[in-house]
Structure 1
Amino acid sequence: MSETTDQTVSFGYSEVTPEEKTRKVGEVFSSVAKKYDIMNDAMSFGMHRGWKDRFVRRVKPQPGENILDMAGGTGDIAFRMADRGANVTVADINQDMLDVGAERAMERDEAEGAGSLVFSHQNAEAVTFAANTFDAYTIVFGIRNVTFKDKALAEAYRVLRPGGRFFCMEFSVTDWAGFREIYDLYSMHIMPRMGQVIAGDADSYRYLAESIRKFPQAPEFERMIAAAGFVNTKAEIILGGAVAIHSGWKI
């Protein structure tokens, strides 16, 4: 079922027009861009690094293949895949995030045999690349901020070659009793305070916490991936659903 509507969409716990959501999400990531990776370390107690390593192992990037890393602005996932020899196009709707990634790319020491990196300003709902272009499509902690997720999934399917693979890692709510209450307290109350202290921006991290709660749980999102045309879909659950790695293939 399409998410499109002529009325309103969710921006955290608020209801706004689609155009307003796009603008507001852009403001959030422009605000946090320079502190984004530091905040990831602080908010996840460094666990995001292990999750990202695990994600890339699932993707299995190969030397010479072409991968589109959507919403990958600061390059965390792209660098890992390029180090394995893949040619990665880092795409993001937010130019400030792309600028941070490009700066990091210039500063890093590339591994021998590393693939190429290209940074491209893109809207996940309307990608400018031709159909059947990429061997893999990745999106990490980004699709929950897309206004119409069904459009983004359709675009992911379109730009992949037959046999191409889709991988997404995203936050949601956890099913673990006990941990769920701690996670809720942490995400809704402590995260915004950390955002204020570290990034000088509590409101953006309050939105990010709310967006996690609004994102579909793994079974529902897996159904959305299948509805876009992907087969052999799978959801790998981490921390009782607080994080999930989704995958599917285009045939």
Structure 2
Amino acid sequence: MATRSLYRSAAAKRLFVAAPRCARLYSSGSSGSSNSNAADKETHFGFQTVKESLKASKVAEVFSSVAASYDTMNDVMSFGIHRLWKDHFVRSLDPGRKPGGQPLKILDVAGGTGDIAFRMLDNAAKVHHDFETSVIVADINGDMLREGEKRALAAGYLPSDRISFKVEDAETLNTIPSNSVDLYTISFGIRNVTRIQEALKSAHRVLKPGGVFACMEFSKVSPAPLDAIYQQYSFSVIPLMGQLVAGDRDSYQYLVESIKRFPSQQEFAQMIRDAGFLTAGRGYDELTFGVASIWKGIKPLEVKK
């Protein structure tokens, strides 16, 4: 796989440099900007049109509502397939200290309940015998982060300096220093960001030169007959499941609408390149006929002026 070899090559050339030690099927990626300068602009909230300044709070309401039932609903709606996607996502990145290298500093944005972060720590420990690589789980939604902290305590990841949870807006990442992160991941969360291009720019800012950006998100299904079946399932079954399992139809209606509104695989790959990242080949790999896709990019060693 072209993308995989590119990122392994980057690691081999020690583009992952020393890092100081220090959210999924439906992610807690409730990141959105409250920037007052954009208050008069409009954006989408599912199929609704809302002011940009209001989207963050509306998305926050959705994820606060589903936080407690998040894991159960993920399994019910995906028949457990989201776990296989996440395992594949982490294996393709293979996080952990390589021979002769240093521990990594990883930022998992829209990290919510910690699904991706825990997998990355496990990969570092089990594959590379690395117990120093650390992950910051960042999410704008405190309720989702609290669920993640509870899970981390129950699973023995806390107390530890290998993982921390932090309230952050994906568009700004205000407390994350520039050029400080080796690996930036965002899993099933970027579609909920108000200004996606701003989030990509922030990802580029915080990554070290040679650092890797990796995103897993729902995408466009093909061929068309299969997409028709998928759309029927998404809009008819998932909101009903939300009502029956979580007692919340409206939140899951928004979630399927947000998937429909997300850019195509090709469009999002171009957005990543527009943010300054280098990509291999077409820039993405599809999972399960495009139900989800993985996009990757590398921050150049030298930034063009």
TM over 0.5: yes
Does residue 26 of structure 1 match 2:60?
yes
1:195 corresponds to: 242
Native 8 Å contact 1:71 1:90 kept in 2: yes
* Residue deviations 1:121-156 (CA, integer Å, cap 9, x gap): 000001021100100000000000000000000000
The alignment-based identity, stated in percent, is 50
Kindly state the Cα deviation for residue 12 of structure 1 after the two structures are TM-superposed: 0.4
Indicate the SS of the match to 2:209: strand
**Cα deviations across residues 32-91 of structure 1 (Å, max 9, x unaligned)?**
011111111111100000000000011221132000000001000000111224300000
For residue 139 of structure 1, give the secondary structure of its aligned residue in structure 2.
strand
* 3-state SS in 2 of match to 1:73: coil
CA distance in 1, matches of 2:212, 2:40: 32
Q: Is 2:83 the partner of 1:37?
A: no
SS of residue paired to 2:237: helix
CA distance in 1, matches of 2:58, 2:269: 27
Secondary structure, aligned partner of 1:231: coil
Structure 2: any 5+ residue segments left out of the alignment?
1-37, 98-102, 125-129, 301-305
Structure 2 counterpart SS, 1:31: helix
Q: TM-score, normalised by structure 2?
A: 0.78
Cα displacement string for residues 5-50 of structure 1 (whole angstroms, at most 9, x for unaligned residues) = 8421000000000121111000000000111111111111000000
Helix, strand or coil for the counterpart of 2:136?
strand
User: Which amino acid letter does the alignment assign opposite residue 32 of structure 1?
Assistant: V
2:80 is aligned with what amino acid?
G
Residues matched between the structures, number: 246
Name the counterpart of 2:135: 88
Tell me by how many angstroms 1:178 deviates.
Answer: 2.2
- 1:232 aligns to 2:266 (yes or no): no
Q: Which residue number corresponds to residue 155 of structure 1?
A: 202
1:121-200 matches, cutoff 5 A = 121-128=167-174, 129-200=176-247
Q: Does the aligned pair in 2 maintain the 1:137–1:165 contact within 8 Å?
A: yes
Residue 118 (1) aligns with residue 118 (2): no
Aligned partner (choices 17, 24, 29) of residue 51 of structure 2: 17
Q: Determine helix, strand or coil for the equivalent of 2:55.
A: helix
- Secondary structure class of the residue paired with 1:230: coil
Would the aligned equivalents of 1:217 and 1:241 in 2 still touch at CA under 8 Å?
no
Separation in 1 of the partners of 2:107 and 2:40? 30
Deviations 1:188-226 (A, max 9, x none): 110000001111100000000000000001000000000
Greater RCO, CA 8 A, separation 6+: 2
* Partner SS, residue 169 of structure 1: strand
In the alignment, residue 219 of structure 2 is paired with which amino acid? S
CA apart distance, 1:109: 3.6
Question: Does residue 241 of structure 1 match 2:290?
Answer: yes
Once superposed, what is the RMSD of the aligned Cα atoms? 1.6
Residue aligning to 2:16: none
- What's the counterpart of residue 61 of structure 1? 95
Higher strand share: 1
- CA distance in structure 2 between the aligned counterparts of 1:211 and 1:24, rounded to whole angstroms: 13
What's 1:7 paired with? 41
Amino acid at match of 1:49: R
Give the equivalent residue in structure 1 for 2:153: 106
What is the CA–CA distance in structure 1 between the aligned matches of 2:286 and 2:161, rounded to whole Å?
30
Give the TM-score normalised by structure 1: 0.94
**SS in structure 2 of the partner of residue 178 of structure 1:** helix
Paired residues of 1:82 and 1:115 also in contact (CA < 8 A): no
Equivalent residue letter for 1:34? A
Report deviation, 1:182: 1.1
Counterpart contact for 1:167–1:245, Cα < 8 Å: yes
